[in-house]
Amino acid sequence: MGRQSANKHRRRRRKGQFSFLYKMLCLALITAAIAAALAVFFKADHIVVENNSRYTAQQVVDAGGLQQGDNLFFMNKYDVAAKITDSLHYVESVRINRRLPDTLCIHITECTCGIALKQEGTAWIMCSSGKIVDAIAAEEAEDCLTVTGLTLLSPQRGAQAAADETNESTRQQLLTILQQLRAKGMLADVQEIHLEDPSVITVRYLDRFNAEFLWDADFDYKLDFLAAVVAKLENNERGTLKLTKDGEVRFIME
């Protein structure tokens, strides 16, 4: 009786093992079939580049190492985006989407407002995200937003702007201001940002006003306040706007 029970147990175990192997084989076959279908049917017959102005679509495609016919699903989107931003310095960010069945869409964000930090006769051109996109002679940076009071540490094209321990908090505050200005559509209206005064940050706005802010100011609120105050002034008025106190501004006309 015991021997018959043991035999039944062994048969059930062998049957269970075969069932497991059969399921694994089916899963492998299904996976292979899906992979084969993806490889055959979902190819990038069309590569679309959006929002580019400085670089041609072909330059973007070449920088990403892409070719027509590449598989949409087997490519590494993040690797392609990194190649583009590393090769094309004026590209701040890249977003890649698949449009099935045969289109790859590359949406890029280019640096459109150069921010110049001058050191030893060179103007290092930075975008609002902190990426250094170019290096030109200091005298050629007249059309750029100029930043004073911050020394960069070993600046390089294509790298993020860096600073030593003494200047790191200044660098971070600059990026905060730049990102807020960009988000509010005010970046193109700023000509200078001065960071050398330890008591206030001065922003040259609309080439008519020197707006003064405390270092720990809520720039999200303060920049909205600045725009609202300026909108109430006459077009011929110029001077200094002291926004160092909450809820009030002092205007000193030139």
**Above pLDDT 70, what percent of the chain?**
83
- In 3D space, the residue among 44, 166, 190 whose CA is nearest the CA of residue 114 turns out to be 190
Give per-residue pLDDT as tens, 10-25. 555 555 555 666 667 6
- The C-alpha atoms of residue 152 and residue 161 are separated, in whole angstroms, by 7
H helix or E strand, kind and range, residue 7 = helix 2-41
Higher-scoring residue by pLDDT: 26, 252: 252
Give per-residue pLDDT as tens, 36-79. 555 555 688 899 999 999 999 999 999 999 998 888 878 899 99
Are 84 and 178 part of one and the same domain? no
Q: Tell me which of 86, 110, 134 is where a domain ends.
A: 110
Are 249 and 149 part of one and the same domain? yes
Give per-residue pLDDT as tens, 176-234. 999 999 999 999 999 999 999 999 999 999 999 999 999 999 999 999 999 999 999 99
Q: What are phi and psi of 229, to 5 degrees?
A: -65, -45
Are 103 and 128 part of one and the same domain? no
With a threshold of 0.85, does the pTM exceed it?
no
In a domain, 34, yes or no: no
Q: Tell me which of 110, 131, 152 is where a domain ends.
A: 110
**Parallel, antiparallel, or unpaired: how do β-strands 209-214 and 145-148 relate?**
unpaired
Q: Residue 246's domain spans which residues?
A: 115-253
pLDDT at 19: 66
Within 13 A of 188's CA, how many CA atoms are on the CB side?
3
In a domain, 11, yes or no: no
Are 243 and 123 part of one and the same domain? yes
Q: Which residue has the tokens 């990026």?
A: 175
CATH of the domain at 90: 3.10.20.310
Are 158 and 61 part of one and the same domain? no
Are 61 and 166 part of one and the same domain? no
Burial degree of 193 (CB within 10 A; 0-12, 13-18, 19+): buried
CATH of the domain at 202: 3.40.50
Q: Tell me which of 110, 143, 160 is where a domain ends.
A: 110
Residue 1 scores a pLDDT above 50: no
Domain total in the chain: 2
How confident is residue 29, by pLDDT bands cut at 50, 70 and 90?
low
In a domain, 90, yes or no: yes
